[in-house]
Structure 1
Amino acid sequence: MARKPALMLQGTGSNVGKSVLVAGLARAMKHRGIKVAPFKPQNMSNNAGVANGGEIGRAQMLQARAAGLAPDIHMNPVLLKPESELGAQIIVQGRFVGTMRAKDYGKHKTTLMPKVMESFETLENQYDLILVEGAGSPAEINLRAGDIANMGFAEAADVPVVLIGDIDRGGVIASLVGTYAVLPAAEQTRIKGFLINKFRGDVSLFADGVTEIATRTEWAPLGILPFFQKAQLLPAEDILDLKNETNRTENFTIVVPKLPRIANFDDLDPLAAEPNVSVKIIELGQPLSQNADLILLPGSKSTIADLAVLKSEGWDLDIAAHLRHGKPIMGLCGGYQMLGKQISDPHGVEGSTETVDGLGYLDVETVLDPLKTTRPAKGTHCESGLTVEGYEIHLGQTTGSDCQRPFVEIDGQSDGAQSEDGLVTGTYMHGIFSSDEFRSYFLENLGITASGNSYNQSIDQVLDDLSEHLEAHLDINQMLEIAYAREA
């Protein structure tokens, strides 16, 4: 097979902007008429989406959208979904293959390189340019043995690298030059250029800094990218990106407890984009706000463990007080399971075999099982009759009398439940608030005037603006020359 042009964006650390830059470059390439696809060999995130029946990181979902493509499991062949501080679920080419402790995964990851390469070559066969996103930093040389996420992949696939430094966090010269210093010579030369991200102020003031980096590394300077404020409107990739408050208005306040294993938190983004809604993320150690108009329990990677944390924080008491005041609560996926009377894990799917009491606000019970439901979902909201779209990623089945008042109908099957007084609602459907008509109905039913804006159109507009931002400040032509040199 003939090799296709490819370029890998690596960073001096996590959260330097790799995911957003790949999305922006993908949209820029699409505007240039180049058939481009994103690729991330290994991702670690509980923010997953559904792609042709399997799971990939939400960042790759966004990047696929930027490229004008349907998401594909080959865009993120290895996804690690942390269940605890020490272990994670392993998803390979969209499918769950097991749970592994971090120290064991370090020994196992080399066996995944053939799958990674298979997925990369699958995309090479279909597209003219592949934009590859690294993970963490290549400077983590303690993790280099068996690496499939950064230089290990770049070497195996013979892909050139551009390194991203984040000046907003400080020390960008040291982070770039320091990365060069700890890499072996072959990897130093594999990096062909560097760029500076998240610059605030007059970029000309850093001209000497760019010169120093270029002189000390012999890498080509590819530009200084001013801080792009609108990036905060794009779906967050990492839990670290969640803010305590996403909007300043106090018209209507949605409170979300930030559970340790929170998952699929981009469910919140369409609500946070509404001008009359304030979404507040409550950190551990803080009470749920007494001013909350709606408490929303998010998805969770480990429902039983997060339920235990919720109770230990005293948030169950805050929820009880909230309901006594006649205010609503909603649970999504794991949050839905927590609202029931009982959660059973007879197979030890989340660790140990146990049965625990839920919050008891829905007359339902959940039994976790190893078979994961992973599918796109399109259905009808039962109360309004409106069409809704989203996806399901969950373990377990939920049954009980409150399921006779389902939230949605999906392919003729009922999903979710509602309490008899209508104050407590739960559903397995993620992404439901992206459906504009439903979101407007949901908010207006709570007494809030919705914007009527199209959430998906707003995301596409931000991607277009990001593309123009990159074209204006980066030497994209030189980046393409680096990528196309691989084909030679």
Structure 2
Amino acid sequence: MTAKCVMVLGTSSGAGKSWLTTALCRWYARQGLKVAPFKAQNMSNNARVVASPNGLGEVGAAQYFQALAANVEPDVRMNPLLLKPEADTHSQVVLLGEVNHALTHTPWRGRSEKVWPHIAASLDALRAENDVVVIEGAGSPAEINLMANDIVNLRVARHAGARCLLVTDIDKGGAFAHLYGTWALLPPEDQARISGFVLNKFRGDASLLAPAPEMLQALTGVPTVAVLPMWWQHGLPEEDGVFDDRSLATGVVTRTVAVIAYPRISNLDEFQPLKNVPGLRLLWARSPADLAGLNAATDWVILPGSKHTSSDLAWLRAQGLDAAVAEHAQRGGAVLGICGGLQMLGEALIDTLGIDGNAPGLGLLPLVTVFAEDKTVLRTDARFVQVRGVWSALSGVSVRGYEIHHGQTQAHAAMAAAGVVPHEAMPGLTWQNEAGNVMGSYLHGLFDDPAVLHALFGAQTPTLETVFEGLADYLDQHVAREVLQDLVA
């Protein structure tokens, strides 16, 4: 078996590559084909725990969802290289699911030839096992300053013999210039790989686009194969986990959940299910003003995961958000910390190895976190025991999630000796304060679990299966079936 390869390229980041790749994975799987996703290199702090040669490893969240859409078990070959930004000029390098310290400290231009054999081997293995591999590019393939070291766009397309779609975000304006300019900057042999242009996020009367598609085809020889209408509520997390502030709750808003948006925020895709809870408004909080109007009786503050906890904690203090979070908690408002957010809620971050950094915590939980060199990467099945306060409905609920963290957290010894101890709502994973309104957990993926959503909100939200089927139906409505068939003919 040697799979046919379809590749989704974009004129820019945010053009729609990830969701279109996911939709294609489900569409081809519905045709009875064995399908796998692939992205050679992903830069994202949104990761999931999947199968790896050594047990478990990390891949970008987008490839995790694409694998589920394709009805296959996600594994690290689907995203062999993951870059997790820790600062503006530095990323942790994860190769085949595991942190690679040597590559992390290798300059970018010297890294490509070291990782290419692993990328090629992963792609070749997936091709040998499947009928179709749907490949996602990164950014734009026409970054001429990066072409010599490219390992994610044109080099992958050539290696796979892929037929490519080039998608652009027409909502940003200049879509035809973006498509033509991208195509024009490609070498002639790569221009020939572009089988169709896709206009994404279109609003208005499609007939008004004429004669631009025809003129573009006359210039390039490439047809515009799809005009995809704007679709805010498809239900799939964005690749970088960013939810759009224009997508508000359906119906009357009865609860607001404010997620603190610090610079090194991670694993935001896990909050996507909250967008689908009736009456719940999900919003970013970047300043104290964003928390000022919260109702302590109904509204929550969430401190999400962080790729660099001490830096994000320093940012939070610089904005004055530390006092705003504490004030919400003091009024009895619900505060939830997940992973890095949990670590921030404690008394102190202790780092003797230079992993993350030392810092005093927010002091809302009597805990201390000590950073360790080895990263914890686990799939976790756990059960809430007795849960206090606003989270009490979770008592006895079993949940499946995942852990990705360096720190190890325990009770503050001196405070415990004085009688101030955290309440363990989930042994070794989740802790609460005495009042029960502040809770921190190492378990990612809580809101992916229908039992948790039902316990907390009495709500049933669309399942991932429903989302994937909706994406495939959307392609059926807006892309000619023969176009999709020809790509793998």
| Structures share fold, TM-score greater than 0.5 | yes
Residue 480 of structure 1: CA displacement?
Answer: 3.4
**Bigger Cα displacement from structure 2, 416-425 vs 388-397:** 416-425
Aligned pairs (5 A) from 1:430-449: 430-443=444-457
Aligned pairs (5 A) from 1:180-329: 180-231=183-234, 233-243=235-245, 246-247=248-249, 249-284=252-287, 286-292=289-295, 293-329=299-335
Q: Determine helix, strand or coil for the equivalent of 1:229.
A: coil
**Counterpart in the other structure of 1:16:** 15
Residue 173 of structure 1: CA displacement?
Answer: 0.8
Provide the rounded CA distance (Å) in 2 between the counterparts of 1:441 and 1:392. 22
Q: Determine helix, strand or coil for the equivalent of 2:12.
A: coil
2:160 maps to which of 148, 154, 157: 157
Provide the rounded CA distance (Å) in 2 between the counterparts of 1:167 and 1:209. 13
Q: Report sequence identity in percent.
A: 36
Residue 63 of structure 1: CA displacement?
Answer: 0.8
**Counterpart in the other structure of 2:424:** 406
**Counterpart in the other structure of 1:390:** 401
Aligned length: 466
Change (3 A) 1:117 1:379: same
Superimposed CA distance per residue, residues 370-398 of structure 1 (whole angstroms, 9 cap, x where no aligned partner): 21111111111112111111111111100
Letter in 2 for 1:236: E
Provide the rounded CA distance (Å) in 1 between the counterparts of 2:198 and 2:359. 51
Superimposed CA distance per residue, residues 248-292 of structure 1 (whole angstroms, 9 cap, x where no aligned partner): 643112111111011011222222211122222113574423314
Change (3 A) 1:387 1:101: closer
Superimposed CA distance per residue, residues 165-207 of structure 1 (whole angstroms, 9 cap, x where no aligned partner): 2211111110011112212212212222222222222222223
**Counterpart in the other structure of 1:41:** 40
Structure 2 residues without counterparts, runs of 5 or longer: 387-394
**Counterpart in the other structure of 1:425:** 439
Contact 2:2 2:129 in 1 (8 A): no
Contact 2:305 2:340 in 1 (8 A): yes
Residue 4 of structure 1: CA displacement?
Answer: 2.1
**Counterpart in the other structure of 1:169:** 172
**Counterpart in the other structure of 1:447:** none
Provide the rounded CA distance (Å) in 2 between the counterparts of 1:244 and 1:165. 21
Contact 1:46 1:263 in 2 (8 A): yes
Superimposed CA distance per residue, residues 419-463 of structure 1 (whole angstroms, 9 cap, x where no aligned partner): 1221211100001122222222234xxxxxx22x144x2x32222
**Bigger Cα displacement from structure 2, 36-45 vs 197-206:** 197-206
Provide the rounded CA distance (Å) in 2 between the counterparts of 1:463 and 1:139. 30
Change (3 A) 1:289 1:476: farther
Residue 101 of structure 1: CA displacement?
Answer: 7.4
Contact 2:38 2:135 in 1 (8 A): yes
1:467 maps to which of 472, 478, 484: 472
Letter in 1 for 2:449: S
**Counterpart in the other structure of 1:446:** none
Contact 2:401 2:445 in 1 (8 A): yes
**Counterpart in the other structure of 2:67:** 64
Contact 1:166 1:197 in 2 (8 A): yes
**Bigger Cα displacement from structure 2, 120-129 vs 468-477:** 468-477
**Counterpart in the other structure of 1:366:** 369
Q: Determine helix, strand or coil for the equivalent of 1:407.
A: strand
Contact 1:257 1:288 in 2 (8 A): no
Provide the rounded CA distance (Å) in 2 between the counterparts of 1:399 and 1:141. 50
Superimposed CA distance per residue, residues 52-98 of structure 1 (whole angstroms, 9 cap, x where no aligned partner): 11111111111111111121111111111111111111111111113
Provide the rounded CA distance (Å) in 2 between the counterparts of 1:348 and 1:286. 34
Letter in 1 for 2:160: A
Q: Determine helix, strand or coil for the equivalent of 1:139.
A: coil
Provide the rounded CA distance (Å) in 1 between the counterparts of 2:128 and 2:104. 34
Q: Determine helix, strand or coil for the equivalent of 1:180.
A: helix
Provide the rounded CA distance (Å) in 2 between the counterparts of 1:103 and 1:372. 20
Residue 241 of structure 1: CA displacement?
Answer: 4.3
Contact 1:259 1:284 in 2 (8 A): no
Contact 1:9 1:132 in 2 (8 A): yes
1:75 equivalent to 2:75? Answer: no
Letter in 1 for 2:146: L
Letter in 1 for 2:73: A
Aligned CA RMSD, in angstroms, stands at 2.0
Contact 1:199 1:227 in 2 (8 A): yes
Contact 2:273 2:461 in 1 (8 A): no
Provide the rounded CA distance (Å) in 2 between the counterparts of 1:111 and 1:145. 14
Provide the rounded CA distance (Å) in 1 between the counterparts of 2:287 and 2:190. 41
Contact 2:241 2:267 in 1 (8 A): no
Provide the rounded CA distance (Å) in 1 between the counterparts of 2:282 and 2:483. 41
What's the TM-score, normalizing by structure 2? 0.90
Contact 1:258 1:284 in 2 (8 A): no
Contact 2:3 2:129 in 1 (8 A): no
